[in-house]
Amino acid sequence: MDAPFLTLGLAEDAPVSDSITAYDRAHFATYLSLLYATGEGQSDEEMAREILGIDPVAEAERARRTLGSHLSRARWLAESGYRALLQS
C-alpha cells in the first residue's frame, strides 16, 4: 500500500517536547488530518490506514503506537503548542 503524501518521512513516534520541532512543522497537515478525522468519528483503524498509511491488520501494534503518538502530539499542538506557532 502506498502511504498518503501526508506521511512522507513519518516516524513511528512523534516528538515529545515543550516546543514546536522541525518534525511538527513538516507533519502539521498530518496532525490536522488526525484531529479532523477524530472529530468526524473515524475509527483508529481508518485513521491508521487512510492518514498514516499503515495497515492496521498487518501491523496492528505499529498502527496503534504510531497513531497514539501522533494524535497525542496533534492534541498538544491544538491545546497549547499553537502559541509557539503564533509567535513565530
Give the residue extent of every domain in the chain: 21-87
CB 31 within 8 A of CB 24: yes
- Enter the pTM of the model: 0.85
CB 31 within 8 A of CB 77: yes
- DSSP assignment of 39-82: HTT--HHHHHHHTS---TTTTHHHHHHHHHHHHHHHHHIIIIIH
Q: Residue written as cell 483508529?
A: 44
pLDDT given at position 63: 96
pLDDT given at position 8: 65
Give average pLDDT by consecutive 10-residue segment, the chain, 88 residues.
58 93 93 97 97 96 97 94 73
